[in-house]
Structure 1
Amino acid sequence: MVCIIYAHPNPKSFNKAIKEVVLETLSAKGVQYNLRDLYALEFNPVLSARDFETFLSGGVPEDVRREQEIIKGAKLLVFIYPIWWTGMPAILKGYIDRVFSYGFAYEERDGELVGLLSDKKAFIINTLGASELDYRPSGMEECLIKTTDIGIFKFCGIEVIRHLFLYAVPYVSDDERKAMLDKVKKQLEEVL
């Protein structure tokens, strides 16, 4: 099972085109998947005081439990989202804050924090408005990898097997965007 976690509010965005290519590729390969379109689900990204109380009492909020069950059943997590202000959209950050919680994604054992999702792999697909020349030399791409791939997913035990950056999406030609979609398809096929 593949879980696609998608975070973009615009139904005409290039991210939607990426999502469609991912779904078509999975369907063509006969791979079962579960799409989590966070905006369509109207997922509540706010980690509230009530959430903390529930977690501290050993419970899990119902919407979080549902997402955790879906993630438990997946071997591959495909994240599709734009980079806004050098980070992920707030709805996705809130999803991680709430769903990748203590006791589900990590825990303490003998004074050490241990990732609990080591049976999962991740493929991250990001769109950026900036060019590769703007991001790479400045070290921003490396920062994104450190904060996301290592700081979030590796911490939870998830192996990031691909992190695809698609640069200058609003400024490139349609042919270049088509080539990007072909790259998404090819790289996804390689990891299935």
Structure 2
Amino acid sequence: MNHLIVYAHPRKESFNHAIMETAVQGLQEKGHEVVVRDLYAMEFEPVISNSEILGGIGEDIEQEQEYLKWADVIIFIYPIWWTGLPAIVKGYIERVFTYGFAYRYVNGEQMGLLKGKKVIIINTQGKSHAQYAANGMDQALLLTSDKGIFEYCGLEVLHHEFFESVPSSDEATRTAWLKQIKEMAGKA
């Protein structure tokens, strides 16, 4: 299968980077084709332009849409910042998941156009699951990303993994999480 990884973290030393490398290794070991789109390394421009709002897209966005067409499974790896997607990921979605490509309206009804494709979302966060659950933010994260973006565009969400309290996690915990990522990659 073809796997597209959309990765966003500015530091190569981050745990997110270790997650991405582990996912790539696990997928390749199972014989999958893998393409990584490292948004920070690409210096992806997250700000949508006036012409894009009017429906005109450039070659850079056409290329990203070709990767999405190619992929059977899309894996998003990014940290939770300010209780949501980093700006560069939000900008990627705004610029690449365009009307007529990822969704459209027919007779006033919304239609996801990425049906048949699957998505896996892997997030790291500074807070614990309990802290997010105490005020409902855990459900808000699932609602805004899984339902409000990915399912809206017709994607089937296979997994949404949250790795909690990452800055204070120990080496044994991180090793166990990476093992979990490798196993998940083997099943994707």
* Alignment partner, residue 7 of structure 1: 8
> What is the Cα deviation at residue 137 of structure 1?
2.6
* Alignment partner, residue 21 of structure 1: 22
1:107 equivalent to 2:104? Answer: yes
> What is the Cα deviation at residue 77 of structure 1?
0.4
Q: TM-score of the superposition, structure 1-length normalised?
A: 0.95
Q: Distance in 2 between matches of 1:34 and 1:114?
A: 27
What does the per-residue CA deviation read over 1:29-85, in whole Å, with 9 as the maximum and x for residues that have no partner? 1100111000111111110113224x1xxx421111000011001010000000000
Alpha-carbon distance change, 136 to 188 in structure 1, aligned in 2, over 3 angstroms: farther
Q: TM-score of the superposition, structure 2-length normalised?
A: 0.97
Q: Distance in 1 between matches of 2:184 and 2:3?
A: 15
User: Aligned partner of 1:21: which letter?
Assistant: T
1:39 equivalent to 2:40? Answer: yes
> What is the Cα deviation at residue 128 of structure 1?
0.4
> What is the Cα deviation at residue 188 of structure 1?
2.3
Q: Distance in 1 between matches of 2:9 and 2:171?
A: 20
Please tell me whether the aligned partners of residues 51 and 57 of structure 2 are also in contact (alpha carbons under 8 angstroms). no
* Alignment partner, residue 174 of structure 1: 171
What does the per-residue CA deviation read over 1:111-156, in whole Å, with 9 as the maximum and x for residues that have no partner? 2110000111001000001012211232111110000000001100
What are the residue-to-residue correspondences of 1:39-188 with 2, within 5 Å? 39-53=40-54, 55=55, 59-188=56-185
> After TM superposition, where is structure 1 displaced by more than 4 Å over at least 4 residues in a row?
none
> What is the Cα deviation at residue 109 of structure 1?
1.1
What does the per-residue CA deviation read over 1:66-108, in whole Å, with 9 as the maximum and x for residues that have no partner? 0001100101000000000000110000000000000000011
User: Aligned partner of 2:46: which letter?
Assistant: P
Gaps of 5+ in 2: none
What does the per-residue CA deviation read over 1:144-186, in whole Å, with 9 as the maximum and x for residues that have no partner? 0000000001100001110000000110111111111111112
Q: Distance in 1 between matches of 2:161 and 2:110?
A: 28
User: Aligned partner of 1:151: which letter?
Assistant: G
Gaps of 5+ in 1: none
User: Aligned partner of 1:94: which letter?
Assistant: G
User: Aligned partner of 2:119: which letter?
Assistant: A
Q: Distance in 2 between matches of 1:38 and 1:125?
A: 15
